[in-house]
Amino acid sequence: MSSALYLCLHLRDFAAQALARFHPELRFRAVAILSGEPPLEYVFAMNQRARLLGLELDMSRVQAESFPIAVLRRDRHQEDTAFAELLNCAQQFSPRIEEIASPQEETCGATLALDVSNSERLLGNAQQIATALHQAVRAAGYEASVAASHNVYASVLVARGMQGVTAIAPGREAETLAPLPLTVLELADAEAETFATWGIHTLGQLAALPTKSLVARVGQNGLRLQMLARGEYNHLLVPTEEPADAVLCESVELEHPVELLEPLLFLLSRMLEEITQRAAQRALAIASVKTCLLLDNTTRSEHRRTIRPALPERDHHTLLKLVQLDLELHPPEAAVLALRIEAYPARPQTAQHGLFTSQAPEAGRLEVLLARLRKLVGEDRVGSPQLLDSHAPEAFRVASFAPGDSPASTGNHHATPASALRIVRPPRAIRIELCGNAPFAMHYEGQRLALQAGSGPWRTSGAWWTHAAWCREEWDVVLEEQPRRCLRLAFDPGANCWYVIGIYD
C-alpha cells in the first residue's frame, strides 16, 4: 500500500485576486482592499504592486489614499464566488479537501489541503499532480502556490513560503522547510516578538532549539511549532463536505437588460451544465430547478418558475429544454437584469425492466413531450387522470404525471389482474325481461340473450343540491353465451328505460 500524499493550494492576497478576477481593468494596477466600518476602515489586503509601493496592512483609508493606488471596499460575494471556482478546480483532483483558510474567516489568503493518496497511477507522480493543479488554477485566472508532501502541514508551510510548484521528497521535509521565515506559521504577536528577541527568524533555527528548554519557556504550543518546523506534525485531514441535500446555485448579472429568450437560454445552458456536473460529482441527479429572473421594471421584481421532472434528471440538455418550454409558456413581463438558478438534488431513480415489458420512452424525453403538450393545449389539460372521491360517475381531475410502479418494476409478479370497464358512449337502449325485480333476459343487438348471473342494484344519483333530477339503478350481469360477456346495465326511472352503459374486458 502506498504512503499518504497531500497537496496544498495557497493563494496569497486572495481578496485582491478575487476582485481583479471580476474587474480585469485592475489586473495591472496597485490595489488595496479595505474592510471595517467607516470611519474605522483599514487595509485588509493588497496585491504585490501595492506592497512594492510601501503599503502595509492595517493602514487607515486616509493613509492608503495617499499612495497612487486603487482603493476599494471588500466584496464578500465576489470572494465567495471566486472561492467556489477554486474549489471546483481542486475537486477535479480529489474529493477530500480541507479548508485551512477561506473567505469566511478574517484572512486575506485562501489555503486548501487535498488528499491525493493512491492517485499516482491515475494522475502521475507528486510533481505531475502538483503541476497539473497549478495549471488548472492559472487557467481559472488566479496565481497560486502548490506544494506536495507526505505530511499535510509540511505542504501547507511550503506553499505559504515558496512560489510556484514544489514537491517535497520523503524524508526531506525539515531540509525543505529550514530556509522559510517564521511568518509562514502565522504566529501570535506575543510569540513572534519572543522569537524575534531570541534571534529566531527561520524554521530551521526554530527546529534546532532544544525541545525541553523551548517547552519550558513557551509551553506546549512551542512543541507544536517545533514539530511543524521539522515537518513532523501529524495532522488528521478533515474534509469539508457539503450536505447531500444542499441546494446547488448559480447566478449571473447581465451588463445590459435582455428581452429576448434566446440569449437567456445561452446563459442558462452554461449554468445548468455547471450544476449537473456538480451534482454528478456527488452521484446525484436534479429533482427540480427554480429559475429566478430579476426584471427591469419599476419594482425590480423577480419572475420565478419551477420545473419538476417526473424522475430526477442528469442531462442538462433535457433540463434546459424544460426550462425553455416553461419560459415560453410563462414569459417574463419585462427585460431581464440577472439570472439565478437553484437546483435541488436527489438520488437518481433506476428501474430494471423485464424482457417482455412493453417499451416506454425515456423519462427525460417523456417529460419534454409533456412540456410541449402543455404549451400547445394548456397546463390543466395534460397529466394523469385521478379519480375524485365522489358518487358521480366518471368524476376525475387531471393531476401531474408521475410514472407509476408496475409489477415489472416493483418485482410483484403475482398481482391480481384487474378488470377494465369500457364505457359505452352513447349508452345503448335495450329491452329487459324481469323476474320479480331482477333482470332475467335482455333484447340486445337484435337477439334475445338470457342472463346467467347478475348483481345489483346499486343506486347512484347526482349531487342533490345541483342535479336533483337524475338518478338510476345499476346492475352487473353475465350473459349466458360463449364466450361469456359481462355487462353493466342501468335503469333510469325517470325515462322508464334500460341501457347498456359498459362492457367488462
* Domain ranges within the chain, ordered by starting residue: 6-169, 171-241, 244-349+362-403, 421-504
Q: E-assigned strands of 360-461?
A: 384-387, 396-399, 421-435, 438-444, 447-461
How many whole angstroms separate alpha carbon 235 and alpha carbon 124? 24
| Interior/surface letters 304-314, b for 16+ CB within 10 angstroms, e for the rest | eeebbbebbbe
At residue 341, the pLDDT reads: 93
pLDDT of amino acid 280: 86
Cell of 31: 490595489
Strand bridging mode 70-73 / 31-35: parallel
What length does the chain have? 505
Q: What amino acid is encoded at 371 in this protein?
A: A
**Grid cell in block for residue 321:** 429544454
The whole-angstrom separation of Cα 479 and Cα 30 is 96
The CA-CA-CA angle for residues 253, 259, 262, to 5°, reads 85
Question: Cα 109–113–114 angle (5° rounding)?
Answer: 140
Question: What kind of fold does domain 244-349+362-403 have according to CATH?
Answer: Dna Ligase; domain 1 (3.30.1490)
Quote the CA–CA distance of 438 and 434 in Å, as a whole number. 6
Instruction: Tell me the Ramachandran region of residue 458: left when phi exceeds 0, alpha when psi lies from -120 to 50, beta otherwise.
Output: beta
φ and ψ at residue 333, rounded to 5 degrees: -85, -10
DSSP 317: H
CA distance 18 to 26: 11
Which residue shows C-alpha cell 345489483? 456
Mean pLDDT by 10 residues, the chain (505 residues): 82 85 84 86 86 88 89 85 87 88 68 90 90 92 92 92 92 92 88 91 93 91 92 87 78 89 91 90 88 87 89 89 91 91 86 62 75 83 79 74 53 59 86 84 86 81 55 84 85 84 85
Q: Amino acid letter at 18?
A: A
Q: How high is the pLDDT of residue 108?
A: 58
Domain 6-169 and domain 244-349+362-403, same fold? Reply is no
Please, what CATH class does the domain formed by 6-169 belong to? alpha beta
Q: Where are the beta strands (DSSP E) in 88-191?
A: 97-101, 110-115, 145-149, 165-167
Name the grid cell of 144.
497560486
Backbone torsion region of residue 441, taken as left when φ is above 0, otherwise alpha when ψ lies between -120 and 50, otherwise beta: beta
Predicted model pTM: 0.58
| CATH class for the domain made up of 171-241 | mainly alpha
Cα 500 to Cα 430: distance, rounded to the nearest angstrom: 7
CA distance 82 to 277: 18
Output helix, strand, coil percentages for the chain, rounded to the nearest 5: 35, 30, 35
Backbone φ/ψ region at 122: left (φ over 0), alpha (ψ -120 to 50), beta: alpha
